[in-house]
Structure 1
Amino acid sequence: MTRTITARDLRARWAEGREIALLDVREEGPFAEAHPLFALSVPVSEVETAVPALLPRLAAPVVIYDAGEGFAARAAARIAALGYRDVAILEGGLAAYARVGEVYRDVNVPSKAFGELVEAIRHTPSLPAAEIRRILDEEQDVVVVDARRFEEFSTMSIPGGRSLPGGELVYRIREAAPSPDTLVVVNCAGRTRSIIGTQSLVNAGLPNRVVALRNGTIGWTLEGLPLATRRTERVAPPSAETRAWARERAGAWAAHVGVPVIGAEDLARFRAEADARTLYTLDVRDPAEYALGHPAGFASAPGGQLVQATDEWLGVRGARVVLFDDDGVRARMAASWLLQMGWDVFVLAEDAALPETVPVPEPARATCPTEPALTPDGLAARTDATVVDLARSPAYRRGHVPGAWYASGPALARDLAALPGDGPVVLTSPDGRVAAANLAEARAATGRPVLLLAGGTRAWTESGRPLETEGRFLSEPIDVYKRPYEGTDNARAAMQGYIDWELQLVAQLASDGIARFHVARAPDPRPA
């Protein structure tokens, strides 16, 4: 029987900085309504595909919880089957935790709460949308840089803005604003990346006046101002002069904050200790640079997004983190933020001589079956089969195998009873892996034969067959939280509610008392 841990003991580990991971195994919708600060959203149906990257050490302590749905025990068994050796269930689930600690709304909350703390302590400069609009109309020497991912910028952006993801800001900013007289405006969709981006430039000592667009594209929209769409403008890669300036300034700030820089021998030691201490090795450069080549054992984690969404890469609170770049800028800036967020983070010296191969920690056991399966040709030839798609609902809505029913992964066993027909059930998912991981649960829940679509929906499309968008919902689609800051169809009340929520996060952090955040002040300008 899986052991349990109390909420107080869990919080004590966070407060003391000891390793522990907390997994919320409900779907993302309920997770976004209420969860502890450092919880990770890993629906029980996605354990096999999500957990190995988030939890690279099989002996790391893992705690699982739900809100009484019965998912936690199922998830614990599946995680143990992967080879994890220290698995516990949170005693009393979410309700018990809420009696001793704060619960938070939304997603990526640690990063968002930290951003609000940065603004409160450093008084990060910002201007409201109406004032930025006036400046753009009346002044010439101003640039707007969008600190989100390029895909988000292209979806909607401030007119005249250019894409400059947050991890690239210090590295490239002087290509956008070579004159110190140019006003630099940093925006995102809401608040966090605007705040962190603006403060990064301030911390690096950019001589320009720098301001955040207060409340980002949400604030712009609430002011009644139009957004641009499908824009492709990007800030250019840095010249040698820009790169030299950025390297000097990033190095000075990282040294002020106390970011440790290590060499190849230190990294080798950390890797040798990875069975006893969780280690993440991350390449924070632009993904296109990563794709051209990267050190062995390093995963891609663009610096701006890493700071914005630490919980999407770093699952074990209290772990070691080593960041890499080849320029002496981006890793130092990202590390300076992670250090302030309480991570034990190091920067790998860019001239470190690294081996072409590295030892791999004991991997999680692959448990996903590949049989019984139908090929796309085989499925097309069946007239009695009913397809059940375990894709996340937005992916299902964009296109699915004709006739396929959407089903919630966690609720699959419950909802299969309502599936029409009496022929075989064929499970699919985007690449087939989630479907395969849930084959055993499906077969236990129905007397009908259950098969897999080999290669998933991707194999169906690669065979030249069409998708359809007509929806058939076996389960309520609560698997994805509708983010009020993404897309162009958000309700005004939802956007305003999101901003109001962010503004109270500092108070909630203070009440909670377990964050271990600290915000570095500017260096004392007085001579020593």
Structure 2
Amino acid sequence: MTRTMTPAELRAHWTSGHEIALIDVREEGPFAAGHPLFALTIPVSEIEVGLPPLVPRKSTSVVVYDDGEGYAERAVPRIKALGYSDVAILAGGLSAYAREGEVYIDVNVPSKAFGELVESIRHTPSLPAEEVKAIIEGQQDVVVLDARRYEEYNTMSIPRGQSVPGGELVYRINDIAPSPDTLVVVNCAGRTRSIIGTQSLINAGIPNRVVALRNGTIGWTLAGLSVETKASARGGDPSAQGREIAQTNARRWADHVGVPIVSAAVVENWRVQQDRTLYLLDVRSPDEYAAGHPPGFISAPGGQLVQATDEWLGVRGARVVLFDDDGVRARMAASWLRQMGWDVAVLEDAAGLSQVAPPKEWQFDGDTVASVDGATVADLARHAVYAKGHIPGAWFVSGPELARDIAGLPGDGPIVLTSPDGRIAAANLAVARAATDRPVHVLAGGTAAWTEGLSTELHEASQPIDAYKRPYEGTDNAREKMQAYIDWELGLVAQLANDGVSRFHVVRALVDRE
């Protein structure tokens, strides 16, 4: 029988800093409707693919939960089959946890809550949309820096905005705004990245006045102002002088926060230790990472890492090492992670790191088919991916509810499972075969291997609750949902205070400029 862990025992791990990973094995929609602060979302049907990157050490304590659906019991044997040795179920599930601690809505909550705490403690300056619009239209000496990923910026942005993802701001600002008289406006879609981006520039000590666009493009839209689409301006690479200034600023701030700088020899020693989870992250841009990176490091652009720590760091209490090749971006990202309670260091120099074999991805060694002729196709992709294009006639089926909903598929012939690359389909073959008398196979290579054209006509065997519609992305969000999102963010500091498990600590300024 699988052991259980009480909510109180789980929370004690968080407050003590002991390693633990909490996995919500429901789909993202229910997860976003309520979960504990440091929970990760990995649906039970995606365990084989989603868990190892987030929880790389197999002896880590892993706790799974649901809200009474029965997914947790199904997840445990799948996790153990991957080699994890310390697996428990959260006693009483989400409802029991809610009697002990705060339950949070939305996604990437630790980062968003931390951003709100930063603004509360540091009084990060911001201006409302109407005032920013007047400045943009009436002043020439102003730059507008969009701190989101380029793809988000390109989808919609405010006038005069240029893309400078948050982790790049301190690195690039000295050439973007060489005059100390230039006003710097930082924006994102909601609040967190503009708060953290603005405060990063202030922490670095640049002489300019820096303000956030209050409530981001949501605030802009709620004020009745129009956004632009398909903008493509990007902040350029820093000059030698700009880079030198940025290095001095980043070093001073990181030293103030207490960010350790470690050698390759230290990292090598940590690599061979088996008693601690270690994350090695390259915080430069994806293009720079692709051009070359230290062995064993994975890409985690600094701004996104701070905005969404739970997409890279699955084990609370783990050790983290960051890398750049400029002396700026890793220090700034690490300064934030340290304030968020992470044991984080910056790699001084990658020279001397030994080559390591990349972690093995879960592989399926069962039978596959190359054709779907005469078969009913069940697609286990996330609904948004399925809707963009799938094998003609394929049915969307929820992974966690595959056993229930496979019976509703039409026909009486064979069923072929697919997913974007086939791995999630393969991971759920045994579940499907146990739930139907029809022959079930896996499409070799998944939908990516399909070469005969895709369809967008929807056939849904399951309710599409596998993804949370973020009210701060895209251009078609309802006003009431955008306003509700802002109201929720503004309440996060109170939730953190009432919860008492975050171990967040916002460092005060070197010199109070606020």
1:477 to 433, 455, 464: 464
| 1:385 matched residue in structure 2 | 375
Mapped to 2, the partners of 1:305 and 1:90 lie a distance apart of: 29
Deviation at 1:174, TM superposition (A): 1.7
Given that 1:194 and 1:212 are in contact with CA atoms closer than 8 Å, whether structure 2 keeps it comes out as yes
Q: Is the 8 A contact 2:263 2:347 kept in 1?
A: yes
Q: Counterparts of 1:144-223 in structure 2 under 5 Å?
A: 144-223=144-223
Partner AA of 2:219 in structure 1: G
Q: CA deviation at 1:524?
A: 4.6
CA deviation map 1:10-69 (0-9, x unaligned): 000100000000000000000000000000000001101111100010000000000000
In the other structure, the counterpart of 2:509 is 522
Q: Which residue of 2 aligns with 1:372?
A: 367
Deviation at 1:264, TM superposition (A): 1.1
CA contact (8 A) 2:54 2:315 kept: yes
Tell me how far apart the structure 1 counterparts of residues 421 and 176 of structure 2 sit (CA, whole Å): 40
Correspondence for 1:358: 356
| C-alpha contact 1:83 1:364 (8 A) present in aligned 2 | no
Deviation at 1:374, TM superposition (A): 1.6
- Contact 2:367-2:441 at 8 Å conserved across structures: yes
Q: Matches of 1:338 and 1:56 in 2, distance apart? A: 19
Distance in 2 (alpha carbons) for counterparts of 1:359 and 1:497: 46
Q: Which amino acid aligns with 2:265?
A: E
Cα gap change, 1:524 to 1:138, in 2 (>3 Å): closer
Counterpart in the other structure of 1:328: 327
CA distance in 2, matches of 1:31, 1:21: 16
2:96 maps to what in 1?
96
In the alignment, the residues of structure 1 paired with residue 354 and residue 172 of structure 2 have an alpha-carbon distance, to the nearest angstrom, of 29
What's the secondary structure of 1:145's corresponding residue?
strand
- Give the match's secondary structure for 1:288: helix
CA distance in 2, matches of 1:338, 1:294: 21
- Structure 2 equivalent of residue 115 of structure 1: 115
Structure 2 CA distance for aligned equivalents of residues 48 and 141 of structure 1: 52
Is contact 1:114–1:341 with CA below 8 Å preserved after alignment?
A: yes
Aligned 8 A contact 1:407 1:415 in 2: yes
CA distance, structure 1, for counterparts of residue 438 and residue 338 of structure 2: 53
CA shift at 1:356, angstroms?
A: 4.4
Aligned residue in 2 for 1:488: 475
Runs of 4 or more off by more than 4 Å in structure 1? none
Task: Give the total of aligned pairs.
Answer: 513
Query: What does the per-residue CA deviation read over 1:115-161, in whole Å, with 9 as the maximum and x for residues that have no partner?
Result: 00000000000000000000011111001000000000000001110
* Secondary structure in 1 matching 2:64: strand
Query: Partners in 2 of 1:364 and 1:13 — Cα distance?
Result: 29
SS of the residue corresponding to residue 153 of structure 1 reads: helix
Q: Which amino acid aligns with 1:81?
A: A
CA contact (8 A) 1:81 1:365 kept: no
The answer to whether the 8 Å contact 1:72/1:89 transfers is yes
Counterpart Cα distance in 2 of 1:88 and 1:234: 47
Identity of matched residues, %: 69
Q: CA deviation at 1:364?
A: 7.0
* 1:394-409 alignment runs, 5 A limit: 394-409=384-399
Distance in 1 (CA, whole Å) between partners of 2:369 and 2:109 is 41
Query: Which of the residues 430, 434, 449 maps onto 1:440?
Result: 430
Question: Residue 453 of structure 2 is aligned with which of 466, 469, 490?
Answer: 466
1:371 Cα shift? 3.4
Partner of 1:37: 37
3-state SS in 2 of match to 1:443: helix
Maintained 8 Å contact 1:36/1:102? yes
The code of the aligned residue for 1:468 comes to: S
CA distance in 2, matches of 1:234, 1:137: 20
420 and 239 in structure 1: CA distance in 2 versus 1, 3 angstrom threshold = same
Residues 470/199 of structure 1: CA separation in 2 closer, same or farther (3 Å cut): same
Native 8 Å contact 1:58 1:85 kept in 2: yes
- Counterparts of residues 61-100 of structure 1 (less than 5 Å): 61-100=61-100
Q: Structure 2 vs 1, CA of residues 292 and 356 (structure 1 numbering), >3 Å: closer, same or farther?
A: farther
Instruction: Decide whether aligned partners of structure 1 residues 221 and 182 sit closer, same or farther in structure 2, where only a CA change above 3 A counts.
Output: same
Determine the C-alpha separation between the residues in 2 that align with 1:302 and 1:85.
31
Q: 1:18 and 2:13 equivalent?
A: no
Match of 2:334, as an amino acid?
A: A
SS of match in other structure, 2:454: coil
SS of the residue corresponding to residue 321 of structure 2 reads strand
Q: Secondary structure at the match of 1:455?
A: coil
**TM-score when scaled to structure 2?**
0.98
Tell me how far 1:175 sits from its aligned partner. 2.1
Return the alpha-carbon distance in structure 2 between the equivalents of residues 355 and 224 of structure 1.
Answer: 53
Distance 1:474 1:305 in 2: 34
Mind listing any 5+ residue stretches in structure 1 that lack a counterpart? none
Pairing 1:127–2:117 present: no
5+ residue gaps, structure 2, are none
**Other-structure match for 1:347:** 346
**Structure 2: distance between partners of 1:8 and 1:359:** 39
Give the Cα separation in 2 of the matches to 1:271 and 1:391. Answer: 34
Equivalent residue for 2:288?
289
Aligned-pair Cα RMSD in Å: 1.2
| SS of alignment partner, residue 457 of structure 2 | coil
Q: 2:443 and 2:214 mapped to 1: Cα distance?
A: 48
Q: 1:389 to 1:191 in 2, by over 3 A?
A: same
How far apart, CA to CA, are the structure 1 residues paired with 2:229 and 2:512? 43
1:341 aligned partner, one-letter code: M
C-alpha offsets along residues 61-113 of structure 1, whole Å, 9 cap, x if unaligned? 00000000000011111000000000000000000000000000000000000
Q: 1:420 aligns with which of 380, 405, 410?
A: 410
Contact kept? 2:136, 2:159, Cα under 8 Å: no
Check conservation: 2:268, 2:353, Cα contact below 8 A: no
Going from structure 1 to structure 2, the CA distance change for 1:454 and 1:144 (only over 3 Å counts) comes to same
2:364 aligned partner, one-letter code: P
Note if contact 1:271-1:359 (Cα within 8 Å) is conserved in structure 2.
no
